[in-house]
Chains A and B, each alone.
Chain A
Amino acid sequence: MSRAEATRQDTKGRRPIGLLLVAVPVFLVLSLIVWPVALSVFDTLTVETPSGVTLSLDAYRFFFSDSFSLRNLWMTVQVAAICTALLLAISLPIALYLRFSTSRLTGYIQALALFPLFVPSILLAYALIRTLGPNGTVDILLSAVGLPKLASPYLTIWGPIIGLVWDNLPLTLLIVLAGLGNVSRASIDAARDVGANRVQLLRYIILPRIRSTLLVAASFVILGLFSAFTLPYLLGPAVPEMMGPFMRRTIIDVDDPLQARTQAVVTFLICAAFAYFYVRSIARTRREQSS
């Protein structure tokens, strides 16, 4: 018997055990992710009539004609767009520095940029209120140097933006850094050699190579923002509110599970394309890792 055959026989004998071992987590995924989502999609698309279940778009018609829902959705889109732009604009220079500098500062900068990973977002919310809220640190410092108070971002759209940028910086940075890892130093040197300056390096050599990475980073951020709850709830305005707090209020306070599900499915749909890029890239890194 060849070795390959032997292993095959070996694994054949184990088949039921393998299935048995993965059964519970797979069952969890099916019953707590796939099933609820499928059920929500189904239920929001149908109504029960005496003659049976029929297709109906009423739930969505309500969502998209309700100005309150639309305002909340619009605010979420705005926050997502601003946060994504800010996060990419902040993490790209940091990542470039970390990747290509040999200075000793890189250690400090990396530690600092990854620090938010170690701060739970509920604590962050509290810290930001104390810093940016009324009579917070920023106000204190401004009045100490004799400047007038600024309008506090607390309870405006900028509150959640600041918090979400803070919270998402480490992982965005790590995604961009991983992408920059594929840009070799030699290809940068070669471009400088033929006369490219910093801006041209970025534009013609680096950005084209990390375009897909940036897309993945943006997808990650956008998915996170459509499901953000704690920070928008504690730092953001009450009206309009982001989809996270809005969905919670609809199901708990308004007690309208159907609309809450409709809202959830709408966020799924809006995020579908981003989810596709994001999941595809995760699947790819897992596959690379395991091979």
Chain B
Amino acid sequence: MATLEIKNLSRLFGNTCAVDDLSLTIGDGELVCLLGPSGSGKSTVLRMIGGFEEPTAGAILIDGQDVTRVPPERRPTGMVFQSHALWTHMNVFANVAFGLKLRRLPKDEIRRRVNGSLATVGLEGYGERKTSQLSGGQQQRVALARSLVLEPKILLLDEPFASLDQHLRERLREEVREIQRRVGITMIFVTHGQDEALAIADRIAVMRDGRLEQLSRPDRLYRQPQTEFVAGFVGQMNLLQGAIRSNVMSVAGIDLPVALADGPATLALRPEDIALEKRGDDGGADVMRVTDFGTHLSIEVRTRCRQRLKIMAPPGTGWSAGMRATLSARKFSVYRDGKLCFMPQPCDVRPAAAA
């Protein structure tokens, strides 16, 4: 349990900037997900927190103490690696016990704690197994137990379940969430699956090209994406290029009042925020395809100016391909130069343009 503070962290590899001036603060017992596309620097951030990579600039503080130059073996962090990195020449028990042995704890205590930790991850009685005799999910749990048994202040997980199948991944991440609540440990979880992030994180940090795009609670991230990138990256979003003229943004046959200066802008519409109305010949859009998911309909339309949109409609509304419709937006946001600059709904986050 601890707080983590990262100040202006940067890391260069030769000439590529893997992490670029990143700052964030993580509170005690919080679970933060690092989310971003491949190569956005998530692993590098995590490895710097763990001490495996030296920052080119910036500082890392754990509980207010500067650990920037402290080697990994003396940091109060524990890491679960993507490739689980179990030591294949040791059995399960020895893998989990290794860190305790290095700390020269008495034998009984080691046994007690290892068994406790194996129980936490649901692997009682597996101690004598070889690591090669475990399934992928079990190996990953051993890796988790191996880190947990040392009671680190901060647990770092780098796409721990990436190599597992969908079901197992969902189950394990629920377990991790459950363990995190029970133990109350601070956790940083790297993933590039947004479902995973939205499902378990207290807050999500979205990264792109080594920079922090947004750090928010999952619901805020979804409802109030602060940048165009986040808007497009998290959840489904229709991003439409258009222009503002005399305080009206018109795009895809929709005219929206926008209190902004004239010029190009991007309109962002969630599929569930678009309303469809059946019309005759003069409708603004053609329905191209309708997929019935049972809980909702996913409708793809094409506007007169050949823009494609995804729309979500309630089930049983009788839409089918070839129909015509007019569109209206219940909710929208407008981005200019990649930044949020207009969002008509009442919100407690001030638009970035005003900040």
Contact = CB atoms under 8 A, between A and B. Distances in A.
Do any beta carbons of A and B sit within 8 angstroms of each other in the complex?
yes
A195 B86 contact: no
A198 to B, nearest CB: 9
Contact of B150 (A186, A195, A209): A195
Interface in B86-127: 86-89, 98-99, 102-103
B82 to A, nearest CB: 8
Given A192-B52, A193-B78, A187 B85 contact: yes
Interface stretch (A7-15, A88-96, A200-208): A200-208
B325 interface: no
A184 B83 contact: yes
- Bin the interface of chain B by size: 20 to 34
A190 B73 contact: no
B87 A193 contact: no
A200 B87 CA distance: 14
Q: Which of A190, A191, A204, A208 counts the most B-chain CB atoms under 10 A from its CB? A: A190
B99 to A, nearest CB: 3
Q: Which of A192, A194, A197, A209 counts the most B-chain CB atoms under 10 A from its CB? A: A194
A184 B85 contact: yes
A189 B146 CA distance: 13
A190 B79 contact: yes
Contacts, number: 63
Nearest to B79: A193
Given A187-B87, A205-B87, A193 B77 contact: yes
A193 B103 CA distance: 13
Contacts of A209: 88-89
A246 B29 CA distance: 75
B72 interface: yes
A214 interface: no
- Bin the interface of chain A by size: 10 to 19
Given A186-B81, A204-B98, A192 B72 contact: yes
Contacts of A186: 81-83, 85
A265 B33 CA distance: 68
A160 to B, nearest CB: 37
B298 interface: no
B89 A200 contact: no
B54 to A, nearest CB: 11
A196 B73 contact: yes
A211 to B, nearest CB: 9
A51 to B, nearest CB: 59
Contacts of B79: 189-190, 193
B71 interface: yes
B73 A197 contact: yes
B147 interface: yes
A194 B98 contact: yes
Nearest to B101: A204
Interface in A203-248: 204-205, 208-209
A167 B82 CA distance: 42
A145 to B, nearest CB: 40
Q: Which of B71, B77, B87 counts the most A-chain CB atoms under 10 A from its CB? A: B87
Contacts of A190: 79, 81, 85-87, 143, 146
Contacts of B83: 184, 186
A186 B43 CA distance: 13
B50 interface: yes
A197 B78 CA distance: 15
Contacts of A197: 73
Nearest to A187: B85
B78 A191 contact: no
B85 A195 contact: no
A204 B100 CA distance: 13
B87 A195 contact: no
Interface string A263-288: 00000000000000000000000000
Interface in B278-310: none
Contacts of A195: 73-74, 99, 102-103, 150
Nearest to A208: B89
A141 B99 CA distance: 51
Nearest to A204: B98
Contacts of A208: 89
B102 A194 contact: yes
Interface string B145-162: 011001000000000000
Contacts of A204: 98
A194 B99 contact: yes
A285 to B, nearest CB: 19
A184 to B, nearest CB: 6
B147 A193 contact: yes
Interface in A143-195: 184, 186-187, 189-195
29 contacts: A184-B83, A184-B85, A186-B82, A186-B83, A187-B87, A189-B50, A189-B72, A190-B85, A190-B146, A191-B98, A192-B52, A192-B71, A192-B72, A192-B73, A193-B72, A193-B73, A193-B77, A193-B147, A194-B73, A194-B146, A194-B147, A194-B150, A195-B150, A196-B73, A196-B98, A196-B102, A197-B73, A204-B98, A209-B88
Given A186-B82, A187-B87, A194-B146, 6 more contacts: A189-B50, A190-B81, A193-B50, A195-B99, A196-B98, A196-B102
Interface of A: 184, 186-187, 189-197, 200, 204-205, 208-209
Interface of B: 50-52, 71-74, 77-79, 81-83, 85-89, 98-99, 102-103, 143, 146-147, 150
